[in-house]
Amino acid sequence: MKLYVIFPLSALITLTLQAPSGENCFCEFANSERAFPHDKLSTVEDNASRCNTNITPQKTLELESLLMGLERRLPRLEEDVSTLEREDDGELYGVISLQVVQNELTDIQELIARLNNTILENEHLTHVTNTKLTDLKAEMQELESYDTMQVVRGKLDNRRLRRDLDQCRNTVLPFTNTTEPPHGNCPHGQFRNISGPRVSTAGEYPGSYKYGAWGRDPKPEAGKESWHWLVLLTSGNKHSNYVRLYSSLSAFVGGVSTPGNVLIHSANPTTNTIQGPNVVMYRGALYYNCYNQDEVCRFNLTSKTVTNMKLPKGTRYNSKGNFCHLDECYPFTDLDLATDESGVWVIYTTNQDFGNLVLAKLEDDEQLRLNQTWRTSVYKQGITNTFMVCGVLYATRYVDKEAEEIFYSFDTTTGEERFNLGIFIKKMYPNILSLNYSPVDQMLHAYCDTYMVSYKVLFS
Contact footprint for ligand NAG (CB under 6 A): 40, 43-44, 47, 112-113, 116, 120, 135-136, 139, 177, 193, 195-196, 283-285, 300, 302-303, 363, 371
Nearer to ligand NAG, 40 or 72 (CB): 40
Is-contact 227 262, C-beta < 8 A? Answer: no
Nearer to ligand NAG, 140 or 329 (CB): 140
Greatest CA separation found in the chain? 122
Determine phi and psi for 396, rounding to 5 degrees.
-115, 160
Closest approach, Cβ 378 to ligand NAG, in A, equals 22
- CA–CA dist 329, 418 (Å, integer): 24
- CA–CA dist 354, 187 (Å, integer): 35
How big is the chain by its Cα radius of gyration, in Å?
A: 31
- CA–CA dist 53, 121 (Å, integer): 15
Nearer to ligand NAG, 130 or 208 (CB): 130
Closest approach, Cβ 364 to ligand NAG, in A, equals 6
Nearer to ligand NAG, 196 or 254 (CB): 196
Burial class (CB in 10 A: 0-12, 13-18, 19+), 388: buried
Whole-number Cα distances in Å, 257 to 39, 81, 240, 277: 77, 45, 17, 20
Closest approach, Cβ 261 to ligand NAG, in A, equals 18
Closest approach, Cβ 80 to ligand NAG, in A, equals 22
Closest approach, Cβ 305 to ligand NAG, in A, equals 7
Nearer to ligand NAG, 44 or 358 (CB): 44
Closest approach, Cβ 361 to ligand NAG, in A, equals 6
Nearer to ligand NAG, 203 or 215 (CB): 215
Is-contact 407 185, C-beta < 8 A? Answer: no
Closest approach, Cβ 22 to ligand NAG, in A, equals 52
Is-contact 228 201, C-beta < 8 A? Answer: no
Beta strands in 220-322 (DSSP E): 228-232, 239-240, 242-246, 260-263, 274-282, 285-290, 295-300, 305-310
Nearer to ligand NAG, 11 or 113 (CB): 113
Nearer to ligand NAG, 210 or 283 (CB): 283
Nearer to ligand NAG, 241 or 307 (CB): 307
Closest approach, Cβ 188 to ligand NAG, in A, equals 16
Nearer to ligand NAG, 40 or 210 (CB): 40
- CA–CA dist 295, 431 (Å, integer): 26
Nearer to ligand NAG, 79 or 166 (CB): 166
Closest approach, Cβ 192 to ligand NAG, in A, equals 7
- CA–CA dist 296, 306 (Å, integer): 10
Burial class (CB in 10 A: 0-12, 13-18, 19+), 29: exposed
Nearer to ligand NAG, 56 or 371 (CB): 371
The helix/strand/coil state of 76 is helix
Distance from the Cα of residue 340 to its chain's centroid = 18
DSSP per position, 86-139: HH-SSSHHHHHHHHHHHHHHHHHHHHHHHHHHHHHHHHHHHHHHHHHHHHHHHH
Closest approach, Cβ 391 to ligand NAG, in A, equals 10
Closest approach, Cβ 344 to ligand NAG, in A, equals 10
DSSP per position, 21-67: BTTB--EEEEE-SPPP-HHHHHHHHHHHHHHHHHS-HHHHHHHHHHH
Distance between the two ends of the chain, CA-based, in angstroms? 60
Closest approach, Cβ 237 to ligand NAG, in A, equals 29
